[in-house]
Amino acid sequence: MPDVQEKFIFNHSFDELYPLLNRILAIIEQHCASERHEDLRNNCRLVLMELFTNAIRHADVSSTDIDLLINDDHIRISKSDKGKTFYLPATAEDTGLEFPFNSDLTGKKIIIYRDDICCLCGTLHSPDKLIFSAENNDTGTPPSVSGLHEHYGLMIITKIAGEFVYSYDAGTKVNLFSVTLSV
C-alpha cells in the first residue's frame, strides 16, 4: 500500500493553479520533510508547474485529473485528460506520429526535437505508450541561438524524472502523462 494516494482536479485557470500546487506540495513536504529531500521537493514543484502549464496551453478540455502517489522509494505524479492526443510532429529525422501508432514501430526511438544543446527523444514502448529520454547535444561550437527550441517543459520533466511516460488509452480516449521521481 502506498503511503499516500490522492486525486485532484485541476480546472485550467491561473486562479486555481497556485492553490492546488501549494496543496499538493504541502502533502509532499509532510512525507519528504528532511533536508536531504530539498531537491526532491523543488523537483516536484517544477514537475507540477510544467504539467499544469502544459494543461493550460495544450489541452482542449477545461480540466485535468492529477494523481499523487507517494511510496517509500518514489513519488509518482500523473496528469490525465480526454483532450488532444499527444502528437509527435514531423522532424528532419522522423515523420509525424499519432497515437495509437502502428505496432511495427514498437521499440523505435524517435526524435521529438533537437537543437544545438539538447535532444528530446521518445522510445515507442508499445502502440499506446512512449517513454521520454533526453540527450545532450555537444557540437563543440557555440549553439546557434536562432535555432534554439523555446519549449522546455517536456525536457525539464524528462531530465528531472526517473521515468517519464506518455500513454494513450484508445478505448477511454484518456491521455496520461506519468512522472516518477526517486525518493
Which residues lie near other proteins (CB under 8 A)?
14, 39, 42, 45-46, 49-50, 53, 56-57, 117-118, 136, 142-143, 145-146, 148-153, 155-156, 159-160
The residue among 50 and 81 lying less far from other proteins, judged by its C-beta, is 50
Question: Across the beta sheet with 63-70, what order do the strands follow?
Answer: 4-11, 63-70, 74-81, 174-182, 163-169, 129-136, 118-126, 109-114
Nine-digit cell string for 114: 533537437
The residue among 52 and 99 lying less far from other proteins, judged by its C-beta, is 52
The residue among 107 and 142 lying less far from other proteins, judged by its C-beta, is 142
Q: What CA–CA distance (Å, rounded) separates 135 from 111?
A: 10
**C-alpha dihedral over 153, 60, 41, 130, to 10 degrees?**
-60
The least distance separating other proteins from the CB of residue 116, rounded to whole angstroms, comes to 8
The least distance separating other proteins from the CB of residue 54, rounded to whole angstroms, comes to 9
Which of 52, 59, 101 shows the shortest CA–CA distance to 82? 59
The least distance separating other proteins from the CB of residue 76, rounded to whole angstroms, comes to 21
The least distance separating other proteins from the CB of residue 165, rounded to whole angstroms, comes to 19
